[in-house]
Amino acid sequence: MTIFALGECREHWKLVALQDLCTFRHGGTPSKANADYWKGTIPWISPKDMGTDSVANAQDRITIDAVKNSSASLVPADTVLVVVRSGILARRFPVAVIEDHVTFNQDIKAILPDPEKLNSEFLRYVLKFLEGKVIDEGVKRGATVHSIRSGFIESLEIPLPSLPEQQRIAQALKTKLAAVEQARRASVARLEAVRTLPAAYLRELFESEEALEWPEFSLGDLARIVQNGIYKKAEFYGSGEPFIRMYNVDNATWRLNQNALASVVLADDEKEKFRLDARDLLVSRVNSYEQIGKSAIVSNAEEGYFFENMLIRLRLVPEADPLFMVQQLATRGVRDALRGVAKRAIGQVSVNSSDLRNLKVRLPDIKRQRDIALMLDARIDSATSLRALVSEELSGLGDIPCALLRQAFSGAL
């Protein structure tokens, strides 16, 4: 089966079917009824042990008697293992070269290259290069479990340079991909560090010695309006007025987003009652335990929108700055206090207007509130921009392995 198109690889590289270069072995499972079979030292690999391009430490190990008395195969180092039956085949084609003798189950196929014709590491990279096409053309999809069609792997045609050239390409790819992986891990670490910045900024201000001196209030004493949103049946959705739902309250910031913004038909009296003003606050009253109480401030862009009953609207007195308040509502102490009074149901928790009114917050004078709020907002905006840059960097690094594989099999590496 030819998957490489003409011009994709060097002209002097032949395309050869794997069945002419390798032998294949199927896996099996020793009897679970014999507990002694599962007390050995020989790794028994299943799809859960297969990483992107390596085998993790096997969760199960069997004895040599288990191998002798079952359909399990024992294969040597430098064998290539591929997953041929698993739900993961909808998006990935796991391939690995093993470093020692292992056995494996029936959801995996072993490919043993002829060492005089084909290098195992080279084959691994070829198969990873072909991952998309194997998934698109070779996978037979089931409801939850997918499988590679019988004979598909065996009939795959791959480019075959000389053995020294295979070894050179495999070593070059190994070196370059290791450098990419090192950079990816560093980028992941930076992204995780950036993600912690907003919470760190909030702790720095709201858990400071200064903050402990601010007067304490019940939130109800600072709110002119504490109001649940409106419930509308499904038939009212799809047209009408822009409608804020709990999904539009971001987890990481106190901004509203307009992702998948709903629209709903409202009567005139409902419009009058549930119309949002800029600087209103919206608090999630029904959510997961982790997300209960997440809050956002209504900006000028959302003024005139309406809000659902999963949210509570707060409109504050002039002595309380809305931006400062929504920032305080995002702090660990306030969120923990809300979780402490939340009512549990199946899969979610809830708070009500009374819970919110009784919530304790601390406020300095209005000028200090505004100074803190603007400073925090600027710092969070900078962290958000930095997070976007690091995410873009990480995405770019994710594209490099495919580009290196393309170079390798076009003869450009």
For 370-388, write each residue's pLDDT tens digit. Answer: 999 999 999 999 998 999 9
Q: What pLDDT does 101 receive?
A: 93
Q: What pLDDT band is residue 260 in, cutting at 50, 70 and 90?
A: confident
Average pLDDT score over the chain: 92
Looking at the structure, tell me whether residues 185 and 307 fall in a common domain: no
Q: Residue 223 burial by CB count (10 A; 0-12/13-18/19+): exposed, middle or buried?
A: buried
Residue 1 maps to a domain? no
Q: What pLDDT band is residue 325 in, cutting at 50, 70 and 90?
A: very high
Looking at the structure, tell me whether residues 235 and 185 fall in a common domain: no
Looking at the structure, tell me whether residues 269 and 355 fall in a common domain: yes
Q: What pLDDT band is residue 412 in, cutting at 50, 70 and 90?
A: low
**Is the pLDDT reported for residue 34 higher than 60?**
yes
Which CATH number characterizes residue 271's domain? 3.90.220.20
Question: Helix or strand or coil: residue 163?
Answer: helix
Question: What type of residue sits at position 309?
Answer: N
**Is the pLDDT reported for residue 52 higher than 70?**
no
Residue 204 maps to a domain? no
E strand spans, 219-370: 223-228, 237-244, 262-264, 281-284, 286-287, 295-297, 306-307, 311-316, 343-345, 348-350, 360-362
**Is the pLDDT reported for residue 56 higher than 70?**
no
Q: What is the mean pLDDT of residues 331-355?
A: 91
Looking at the structure, tell me whether residues 184 and 296 fall in a common domain: no
**Is the pLDDT reported for residue 217 higher than 80?**
yes
**Is the pLDDT reported for residue 343 higher than 50?**
yes
Residue 261 maps to a domain? yes
Separation between Cα atoms, residue 253 and residue 412, nearest integer Å: 45
Q: Are 363 and 369 in contact (CB under 8 A)?
A: yes
Q: What pLDDT does 50 receive?
A: 87
**Is the pLDDT reported for residue 196 higher than 70?**
yes
**Is the pLDDT reported for residue 12 higher than 90?**
no
Looking at the structure, tell me whether residues 377 and 276 fall in a common domain: no
Joined tokens for residue 92: 């990935």
Looking at the structure, tell me whether residues 340 and 221 fall in a common domain: yes
Residue 206 maps to a domain? no
Residue 203 maps to a domain? no
Residue 196 maps to a domain? no
Q: What pLDDT band is residue 214 in, cutting at 50, 70 and 90?
A: very high
Q: What pLDDT does 58 receive?
A: 85
Does the predicted TM-score (pTM) go above 0.85? no
**Contacts from 177-184 at CB under 8 Å and sequence distance 24+?**
177/401, 177/404, 180/397, 180/400, 180/401, 180/404, 183/397, 184/394, 184/397, 184/398
Q: What pLDDT band is residue 5 in, cutting at 50, 70 and 90?
A: very low
Q: What pLDDT does 253 receive?
A: 81
Looking at the structure, tell me whether residues 86 and 147 fall in a common domain: yes
Looking at the structure, tell me whether residues 328 and 372 fall in a common domain: no
Looking at the structure, tell me whether residues 153 and 27 fall in a common domain: yes
Host domain of residue 315: 215-363
DSSP at 56: P
Q: What pLDDT band is residue 1 in, cutting at 50, 70 and 90?
A: low
Residue 6 maps to a domain? no
**Is the pLDDT reported for residue 82 higher than 50?**
yes
Joined tokens for residue 179: 């450098």
Residue 105 maps to a domain? yes
Joined tokens for residue 350: 């809830």
Percent of the chain with pLDDT strictly greater than 90:
82
Looking at the structure, tell me whether residues 290 and 304 fall in a common domain: yes
Looking at the structure, tell me whether residues 31 and 113 fall in a common domain: yes
Residue recorded with tokens 């790819």? 173
Looking at the structure, tell me whether residues 155 and 167 fall in a common domain: no
* The total number of structural domains that make up the chain: 3
**Is the pLDDT reported for residue 128 higher than 70?**
yes
Strands 80-83 and 108-113: antiparallel
Q: What is the mean pLDDT of residues 283-298?
A: 93
**Is the pLDDT reported for residue 313 higher than 80?**
yes
Joined tokens for residue 408: 């390798």
236-247: per-residue pLDDT in tens? 999 999 999 999
Q: What pLDDT band is residue 10 in, cutting at 50, 70 and 90?
A: low
Q: What pLDDT does 7 receive?
A: 45
